Amino acid sequence: MKVLLDSHRCQGHARCAAFAPETFVFDDDGFSRVREGMEDVKPENAPGVRKACANCPELAISIIED
């Protein structure tokens, strides 16, 4: 699975980093982004990424299943 984050929709609520800190980080302005090289989600990180996607109030995160 792959994870995408629409940086234009992100409002910096930080829920994604709470659920999947290995996948999401914040830029200097406090908005989330996918860590470099983590777009392809490892199986052990998938549950957290799914929770992050489901809990993003701005619907900025999307998942593409393989």
What is the chain's pLDDT, residue by residue, as a tens digit (66 residues)?
Answer: 999 999 999 999 999 999 999 999 999 999 999 999 999 999 999 999 999 999 999 999 999 998
Strand residue runs (E) in 6-48: 24-26, 32-34
**CATH code for the domain of 14:** 3.30.70.20
Q: How many domains does the chain have?
A: 1
If one counts every other C-beta atom within 10 angstroms of the C-beta of residue 19, the result is 20
- What's the whole-model pTM score? 0.92
Longest dimension (CA), the chain: 32
Structural tokens at position 27: 């830029």
Burial of 32 per CB tally in 10 Å (0-12, 13-18, 19+): buried
Give me the domain span that covers residue 19.
Answer: 2-64
Closest CA to 15 of 24, 28, 3: 24
